[in-house]
């Protein structure tokens, strides 16, 4: 395609972004505004019209999939012979840098890039060496801790010297001992994980400015996609690369930043010019001495892409109405020339059954009108919400596939707890093999081999074999006896307890609930809680006592849903997974308060999390091209709180959404009470150290403010008291 045709295919704002080839250019690209087209066209323009070599253009994408898609488009524009190797993720670029120069850090060029499985294998070695039980420090928890430790500059210094010892570092506890040993093994294997790739490159540039200058000379033009999701560390790396030629093109949308919880800093995009001017003015965070730094010579530009090519005007009006409630953003209203469509709908049901019935009706109507199942995506905030969707689709014979994840009943923790229940009911070998050593009881491969041999000779099950051998010397230092006590106790109680009560007993007695809590993976605990809730609901609806065997039989009929994603299936996925995708019809399910927005996110990060949760809802809504349905229902969660509609549903103006289903006065009263409490909490929140006055206890000082329990610890003359954030009888003393 020649340049004239290339530019003719763009709108005026996209064309402006393409033609601004020099300087620092920030492109605020709204959802569905054709940012990938603009990014690709700019790359092609640099090569075709300006004669820039692709080997001098670095284009950073957020995912490998996005990089592949962009390379495919570039081949269409420029032909198959073009070198697009510098169109890559930042991790892939850092790997390339390190392959050339990691020898300066006493590492071989053929170092190993460790994936998550490799990391767990290293930890498994360490756990075996230190004789650590899995339920005291799981792999996922420790990997997060290792990432945190690696953020410390002292670790980077350690990497730069030969040998396997961490100089002067004495582990203060078992956790740190595991981390240090992990680092030593990693160095011994010459392996770098994804986090190291960024850290090592930064370390190289900081300590070897000739290497930084080499890459600065190579990369004449740098473009970065999804810039709103960049971390500060990644921004530092890119900023120094752009310093010499000062041709930097950043594309992003603050309204679609949904990864602050894992380190992204939207402020980098919001305060783009301010951050860069400060860097050139005072050399903040520079790797190069101030006297060697380049001066800021480039101009700054901002281009706003707010014409949407994806969605109907009605979907955009609802989405704009929602996101306008956020404060931390760049003001913009998406518009479109697409034809008018149907009004988005908000359905309120009395229970899960009504909600899934409404969803199924919308899907069946679409297919009856000649549409395909694959035109439709059902999105949700948290994985546990998929449970009632999957069950409903099975009953309604709606084909589906869990996109980018596992089906609810395929999740590890759900399989684990169901295996505990099956072992109680059936005593089968498959269930025994799955959970006999979870949490760890020293019933590993060697002990299992002994049991298998005994069971084969005695023609019995592995569980019975364990019962008959639990007192033998081979099992003396294991948790065999305790495990048997747990299962036998559950068997005795299975006739008198309801299934949900039995599962609660098993979770506590076996230590499995504590095992999940200690892992730090609270999403897994949410999934188990959802299973408990669904069992309690099933018991209420069953009409007669639900036995363990009947429940397990019902679950076993839940067929495998892992199917080819290219088949005609409804796609179900989390809202995070939907980023970058689009569908004819989108159904956002389970939009209840405490689910969407996530209660845990709000507890951990308060107002910042609320705005991010609203952005996530905005991302979910703007995936829709022609039809958008948002659903929620009443009922009681397992923890006993009533489910009210999400506050986000009321952020959308009534003229922009059709409300279906009657919300009872009691639900609205509860919603109003929650709103008042949230407002009071926000208005009355006091920082640690604030002098306050209690209407009964008098004056005091806030010693702590616990955002999880929403309570202050206040020292009064009468003693220390715990006071709720939302308590109205507390005022500040000035």
Residues taking part in catalysis: 35-36, 225-226, 256, 623
Tell me phi and psi for residue 696, to 5 degrees: -115, -45
- Distance from C-alpha of 108 to C-alpha of 105, rounded to nearest angstrom: 9
Do the bridges between strand 191-193 and strand 23-29 make them parallel or antiparallel, or are there none, so unpaired?
A: unpaired
Name the DSSP class of 475.
G
List 587's β-bridge partners, or say none: 378, 629
Residue 425 near residue 418 (C-beta atoms within 8 A): no
- Distance from C-alpha of 434 to C-alpha of 419, rounded to nearest angstrom: 7
The string of DSSP letters for 131-171 reads: T--GGGS-HHHHHHHHHHHHTSHHHHHHHTSSSS--TT---
- Burial status of residue 294 (CB atoms within 10 A of its CB: 0-12, 13-18, 19 or more): middle
The SS3 assignment for 210 reads: helix
Is it true that the peptide bond before 597 is cis, omega within 30 degrees of 0? yes
Do the bridges between strand 376-380 and strand 583-588 make them parallel or antiparallel, or are there none, so unpaired?
A: parallel
- Residues 6+ positions from 469 with CB-CB distance below 8 Å: 450, 451, 454, 475, 480
The string of DSSP letters for 572-621 reads: EEETTTTTT--EEEEEE---BTBTTTBHHHHHHHHHHHHHHHHHHHHHHH
Residue 136 near residue 173 (C-beta atoms within 8 A): no
- Residues 6+ positions from 503 with CB-CB distance below 8 Å: 417, 420, 421, 531, 532, 535
Of 406, 394, 388, 395, nearest in space to 590 by CA: 388
Alpha-carbon distances of 555 from 383, 425, 605, rounded to whole Å = 18, 14, 37
Tell me phi and psi for residue 343, to 5 degrees: -70, 135
Residue 548 near residue 502 (C-beta atoms within 8 A): yes
State CA 124 to chain mean position distance.
Answer: 25
Residue 444 near residue 127 (C-beta atoms within 8 A): no
End-to-end CA, the chain: 69
The string of DSSP letters for 504-562 reads: HHHHHHTSHHHHHHHHT-HHHHHHHHHHHHHHHHHHHHHSSPPPHHHHHHHHHTS----
**Cβ atoms within 10 A of the Cβ of 693, count?**
14
The SS3 assignment for 53 reads: coil
- Distance from C-alpha of 249 to C-alpha of 224, rounded to nearest angstrom: 6
- Distance from C-alpha of 587 to C-alpha of 627, rounded to nearest angstrom: 8
């Amino acid at each position: 395609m020649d340049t004239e045709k290339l530019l003719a295919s763009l709108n005026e704002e996209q064309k402006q972004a393409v033609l601004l080839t020099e300087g620092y250019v920030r492109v605020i690209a709204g959802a569905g505004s054709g940012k990938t087209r603009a990014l690709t066209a700019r790359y092609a323009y640099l090569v075709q019209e300006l004669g820039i070599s692709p080997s001098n253009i670095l284009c950073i994408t957020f995912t490998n999939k996005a990089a592949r898609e962009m390379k495919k488009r570039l081949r269409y524009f420029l032909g198959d012979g073009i070198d697009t190797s510098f169109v890559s993720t930042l991790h892939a670029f850092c790997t390339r840098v390190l392959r050339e120069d990691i020898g300066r850090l006493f590492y071989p060029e053929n170092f190993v890039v460790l994936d998550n499985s490799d990391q767990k294998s290293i930890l498994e070695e360490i756990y075996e060496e230190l004789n650590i039980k899995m339920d005291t420090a799981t792999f996922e928890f420790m990997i997060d801790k290792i990432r945190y430790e690696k953020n410390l500059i002292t670790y980077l210094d350690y990497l730069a010297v030969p040998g396997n010892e961490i100089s002067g570092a004495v582990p203060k506890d078992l956790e740190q001992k595991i981390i240090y040993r992990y680092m030593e093994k990693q160095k011994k294997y010459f392996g770098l994980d994804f986090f190291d790739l960024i850290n090592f490159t930064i370390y190289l540039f900081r300590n070897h400015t000739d290497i930084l200058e080499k890459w600065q000379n190579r990369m004449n033009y740098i473009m970065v996609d999804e810039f709103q999701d960049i971390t500060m560390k990644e921004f530092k790396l890119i900023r120094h690369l752009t310093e010499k030629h000062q041709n930097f093109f950043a594309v992003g949308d603050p309204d679609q930043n949904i990864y602050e919880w894992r380190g992204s800093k939207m402020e980098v995009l919001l305060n783009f010019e301010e951050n860069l001017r400060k860097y050139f003015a005072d050399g903040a965070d520079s790797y190069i001495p101030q006297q060697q730094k380049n001066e800021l010579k480039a101009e700054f530009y901002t281009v706003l892409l707010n014409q949407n090519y994806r969605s109907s005007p009605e979907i955009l009006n609802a989405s704009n109405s929602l996101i306008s409630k956020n404060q931390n953003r760049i003001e913009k209203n998406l518009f479109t020339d697409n034809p008018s469509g149907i009004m988005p709908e908000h359905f309120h049901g009395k229970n899960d059954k009504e909600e899934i019935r409404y969803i199924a009706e919308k899907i069946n109507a679409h297919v009856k009108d000649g549409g395909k199942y694959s035109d439709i995506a059902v999105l949700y905030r948290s994985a546990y919400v998929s449970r009632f969707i999957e069950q409903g689709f099975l009953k309604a014979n709606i084909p589906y596939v869990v996109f980018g994840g596992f089906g609810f009943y395929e999740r590890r923790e759900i399989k684990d707890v169901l295996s505990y229940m099956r072992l109680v009911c059936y005593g089968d070998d498959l269930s025994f093999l799955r959970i006999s050593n979870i949490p760890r009881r020293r019933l590993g491969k060697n002990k299992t081999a002994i049991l298998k041999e005994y069971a084969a000779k005695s023609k019995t099950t592995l569980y019975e074999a364990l019962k008959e051998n639990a007192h033998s010397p081979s099992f003396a230092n294991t948790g065999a006896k305790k495990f048997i006590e747990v299962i036998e106790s559950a068997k005795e109680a299975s006739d008198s307890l309801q299934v949900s009560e039995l599962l609660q007993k098993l979770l506590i007695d076996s230590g499995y609930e504590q095992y999940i809590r200690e892992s730090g993976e609270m999403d897994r605990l949410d999934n188990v809680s959802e299973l408990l809730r669904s069992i309690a609901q099933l018991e209420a609806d069953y009409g007669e006592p639900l036995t363990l065997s009947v429940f397990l039989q019902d679950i076993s009929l839940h067929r495998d849903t892992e199917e080819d994603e290219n088949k005609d299936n409804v796609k179900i996925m989390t809202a995070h997974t939907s980023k970058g995708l689009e569908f004819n019809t989108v159904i956002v399910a389970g939009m209840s308060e405490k689910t969407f927005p996530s209660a845990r996110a709000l507890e951990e990060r308060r107002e910042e999390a609320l705005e991010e949760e609203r952005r996530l809802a905005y991302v979910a809504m703007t995936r829709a091209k022609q039809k958008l349905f948002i659903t929620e229902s009443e009922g009681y969660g397992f923890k006993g709180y009533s489910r009210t509609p999400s506050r986000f549903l009321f952020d959308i103006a009534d003229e922009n959404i059709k409300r279906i289903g009657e919300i009872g006065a009691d639900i609205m009263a509860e919603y109003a009470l929650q709103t008042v409490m949230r407002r009071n909490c926000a208005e009355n929140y006091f920082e640690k150290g604030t002098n306050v006055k209690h209407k009964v206890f008098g004056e005091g000082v806030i010693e702590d403010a616990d955002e999880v329990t929403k309570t202050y610890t206040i020292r009064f003359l009468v003693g220390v008291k715990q006071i709720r954030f939302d308590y109205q009888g507390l005022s500040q003393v000035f």
